[in-house]
A and B are shown apart, each in its own frame.
Chain A
Amino acid sequence: MKVFAIGRFTQPLSAEEKARILPREVPDTLKLYLDGKIEQFWFRLDQPGPIFLMNGSVDEARAALDKLPLVQAGLLAFELTPVGPLSPLGVLIRGE
């Protein structure tokens, strides 16, 4: 089970918030990757925000992301979408 976590900023960050929070946010995010909770990470380019592919359940993803400083400050919100293997590929081996 994996989860796509699509992030969006709830409001633009002030210069003060960026200077205060980002120096903790980035290392905390990298730690989630090194701990195996985040498998892959990108920046979305349609509007500012991170997108992660996380390992585990939606509840586990939510618990991990809720500890990030920007999420705790209410400045970054994630939409979580659980995904799994592309199961309809099975038609290629069932001979339908």
Chain B
Amino acid sequence: MLKPLFVGVAAAAALAAAASGADAQAAPPATPTTRILAIGTIAPGADVRRVQSLLPSEMRATAELYLQGEIDQWYSLEDRNGVAFILNVTDPAAAKAMLDSLPLGQAHLLTFKLIPLGPLKPMRQLLTVRSGQ
């Protein structure tokens, strides 16, 4: 399925290039997945004491993933109970399996939303628009 922004940026770049008299640009390469943003939230109505009792083992297992290079960045959410990780994993299925194997995941107390990330491809526009001001 065509991604509208991808086509649009290429179109905008081609328009700008045509306006400046340069040759039309070939389609840029597809954007690679380089990281996954994982936002984990505690299930509503979860037993808070049960979550707290699992935190030490959860944090040891999370620190292990960090030391193995799977977790690149880690944060607590500040508007609700949960975490946000930037993972050095590019396959969402592998990321889900990894996070589900953590203690809170196995207890079905923490569920993750996964968003694959890549380079901010609209930046490519800066390479094609002539800036001769």
Contact = CB atoms under 8 A, between A and B. Distances in A.
Interface of A: 1-2, 4, 6, 9, 12-13, 15, 18-19, 22-23, 25-27, 29-30, 41-46, 48-51, 81-89, 91-92, 96
Q: Is the interface of A mostly helix, strand, loop or mixed?
A: mixed
B33 interface: yes
Given A13-B5, A81-B77, A22 B122 contact: yes
A14 to B, nearest CB: 9
Given A22-B8, A22-B125, A88-B55, A81 B79 contact: yes
B76 A88 contact: yes
A89 B63 contact: yes
B121 A1 contact: no
Contacts of A87: 76
B126 A30 contact: yes
Contact of B116 (A44, A48, A96): A44
A82 B78 contact: yes
Contacts of A13: 4-5, 8
Contacts of A49: 5
A35 B56 CA distance: 39
A85 B76 contact: yes
A2 B75 CA distance: 9
Contacts of A92: 56, 59-60, 63
Contacts of B34: 42
Interface in B1-26: 3-6, 8-9, 11-12, 15-16
Nearest to B121: A43
A46 to B, nearest CB: 6
21 contacts: A19-B12, A22-B8, A22-B9, A23-B129, A27-B126, A42-B35, A42-B117, A42-B119, A43-B117, A43-B119, A44-B117, A45-B31, A46-B115, A48-B4, A48-B6, A49-B5, A50-B122, A83-B75, A86-B83, A89-B74, A91-B55
